Amino acid sequence: MTALTLISENKLFNGSQRRYRHFSETTQCDMTFAVYLPPQALQGYKVPVLYWLSGLTCTDENFTQKSGAQRFAAQWGIALVMPDTSPRGEDIADAEGYDLGQGAGFYLNATEQPWAPHYRMYDYIVSELPALIESEFPVSDKRSIFGHSMGGHGALQIALKNPERYAAVSAFAPIVNPCQTPWGQKAFSAYLGGNSNSWKQYDSTELLQTASGKLPILIDQGDADSFYPQELQPETFVRTARACGFDIQFKMRPGYDHSYFFIASFIDTHIEFHAQALGL
């Protein structure tokens, strides 16, 4: 296990908000993540972990500074882990647009050049990062996962493929059917190549049909979200999930957009949803 370098630490709601850097064997570069340890963890108790996956252009800092999640994580005794959205660095492949390359890893394992050597966010999130967290911090092996936009896509497809690893999954304004939307088509064709059949392994709506476990799902969507009509379209996912027998809650929020103001408004209900799934 590679060594962790502490970047910063702040006391917050009697817990500890920290930021770390480490070399990732999966992405073959330095990765940064944030972790919030609630007061229960600092008192010697092993606490469950809730993983947050951020959206396009974000780093770990967007959620830690804007969501207000730590207040509720402290109340429930849940550790929060917030990884970056992609590998980064001078030697890491990048692109001109905001929706491809650094800041836009899409939580998959790239197979095409120049992306394949480093863009392996799926394996990093599912395997390497949890192993690191569970070896270095006072946490249990109980996990749950949620995210926003591209991170909502990541959380849903990861949970659907690994239901034994997570108690539940939730998302704010997720990309749910990337095979059928411009963001997804651009990213998948670059990272995975031109065969659209290979894209389905990372498409949450497609994965509902073959999911081996039916974990609880919560989705929030704002009806004033400018990306909602074309890029998001969560109703397709919701209809398919219900037809497949999933326990899914879908909440359309009047007047809310795609921003962290939306996330901060309802972060408490998402953390409570995960706390209940984790048995707290």
Q: Does 258 qualify as catalytic in the annotation?
A: yes
Token pair of 11 as six digits:
């006391």
Report the C-alpha dihedral over residues 252, 254, 256, 257, rounded to 10 degrees.
Answer: 70
Burial of 186 (0-12, 13-18, 19+ CB in 10 A): middle
Q: Does 274 qualify as catalytic in the annotation?
A: no
Single out the catalytic residue among 149, 153, 170, 220: 149
Which residues are registered as beta bridge partners of 82?
34
Question: HSE of 127 in the Cβ direction (CA atoms, 13 Å)?
Answer: 11
Residues contacting residue 171 through CB under 8 Å, at least 6 positions apart:
146, 147, 148, 151, 152, 153, 155, 156, 218, 219, 220
Residue 181 near residue 203, CB atoms below 8 Å:
no
Q: Does 84 qualify as catalytic in the annotation?
A: no
Single out the catalytic residue among 22, 99, 225, 270: 225
Residue 147 near residue 173, CB atoms below 8 Å:
no
Residue 110 near residue 119, CB atoms below 8 Å:
yes
Single out the catalytic residue among 118, 148, 258, 274: 258
Specify the DSSP class assigned to residue 4: P
Residue type, 185: Q
Which sequence positions are flagged as catalytic? 149, 225, 258
